[in-house]
Amino acid sequence: MSRVPRSFRLLEELEKGEKGMGPESCSYGLADSDDITMTNWNGTILGPPHSNHENRIYSVAIECGEEYPDQPPQIKFVSKINLPCVDQITGEVKKNQFHTLREWKRSYTMETLLLDLRKEMALPTNKKLPQPTEGSNF
């Protein structure tokens, strides 16, 4: 398999996100539709059912650096959330405490990341964690 360069990979992801071809439980798009470098993205994750996250919509900010997708993007929660892998002051997802970032593969996408975060919320150890007031931000 040849290596798809960063920009064409991001365009693919953008098109998938724009056309709504992905799952309904998450969404993502460019933060600035004029940004030719396609660095900053906004995403949302719909809280998984049967958890304290149910019916909540979490906003995240994703930064795809120069080395994406060889290196994972940086991702940070805008909406307040209580999860072990999320820094409780900045909202940042801590790379070393979240397997998808720690063991990042080139084939992973922003969608992988959002869906895996949603799974993280639904883990037996995480789903009943007390959560901040809905609608509050970091």
Partner 1 sequence: MASLPKRIIKETERLVSDPVPGITAQPHEDNLRYFQVTIEGPQQSPYESGVFELELFLPDDYPMEAPKVRFLTKIYHPNIDRLGRICLDVLKTNWSPALQIRTVLLSIQALLASPNPNDPLANDVAEDWIKNEEAAIEKAREWTRLYAKPK
Q: Point out which residues bind partner 1 (CB under 8 A).
A: 1-5, 7-8, 11, 14, 33-34, 36, 38
Q: Which is nearer to partner 1, 21 or 36 (CB)?
A: 36
Q: What minimum distance in Å lies between the beta carbon of 12 and partner 1?
A: 9
CB of 109: closest distance to partner 1 in angstroms?
A: 17
Min dist CB 128 to partner 1, Å, is: 42
Identify whether the C-beta of residue 71 lies closer than 8 Å to the C-beta of residue 65: yes
Smallest separation (angstroms) from partner 1 to the CB of 123: 36
Residue 79 or 109 having the CB closest to partner 1 = 109
Can you read off the two tokens belonging to residue 93?
């997802």
Closer by beta carbon to partner 1, 49 or else 65:
65
